[in-house]
């Protein structure tokens, strides 16, 4: 039983480590948690359910759900909702991992 808990804890740490401090490039402006992020390169930092997306000029912090997909994503990709003035990011899939960050707000 202790071995199973150790494996589960180690797996959770690996998932968090994979998702933390990744670089994404936004080709257009998008909205995350009510903040408009202009096109450019951003770092994505994950700490539990808290996500920070930042560059040298802009930053937004919010909560999100970290999910594990069935297979690894080949590249970084976004899922977004285009209903509004600016597209709103719904999820970020991190290339080279099976991690996706799902935004609920």
pLDDT digits over 58-102, tens only?
A: 999 999 999 998 999 999 999 999 987 889 999 999 999 999 999
Which residues have a Cβ under 8 Å from the Cβ of 104 and sit 6 or more positions away?
Answer: 63, 64, 65
Domain boundaries, the chain: 2-103
Alpha carbons 59 and 77: distance in angstroms, whole number: 19
Q: State residue 87's pLDDT score.
A: 94
Tokens of 51: 């996500």
Q: State residue 13's pLDDT score.
A: 43
Which of 87, 100, 73 has the alpha carbon at shortest distance from 37?
A: 87
Pairing of strands 50-54, 88-93: unpaired
Which residues have a Cβ under 8 Å from the Cβ of 6 and sit 6 or more positions away?
Answer: none
Q: What's this model's pTM, rounded to 2 decimal places?
A: 0.77
pLDDT, tens only, 12-64: 444 444 445 899 999 999 999 999 999 999 999 999 999 999 999 999 999 99
């Amino acid at each position: 039983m202790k071995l199973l808990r150790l494996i589960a804890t180690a797996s959770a740490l690996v998932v968090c480590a994979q998702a933390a401090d990744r670089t994404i490039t936004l080709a257009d402006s998008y909205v995350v948690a009510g903040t408009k992020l202009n096109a450019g390169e951003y770092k994505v930092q994950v700490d539990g359910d808290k996500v920070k997306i930042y560059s040298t000029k802009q930053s937004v912090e919010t909560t999100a759900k970290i999910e594990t997909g069935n297979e690894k994503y080949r590249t970084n990709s976004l899922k977004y909702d285009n209903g509004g003035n600016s597209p709103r990011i719904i999820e970020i899939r991190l290339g080279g991992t099976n991690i996706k960050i799902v935004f609920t707000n």
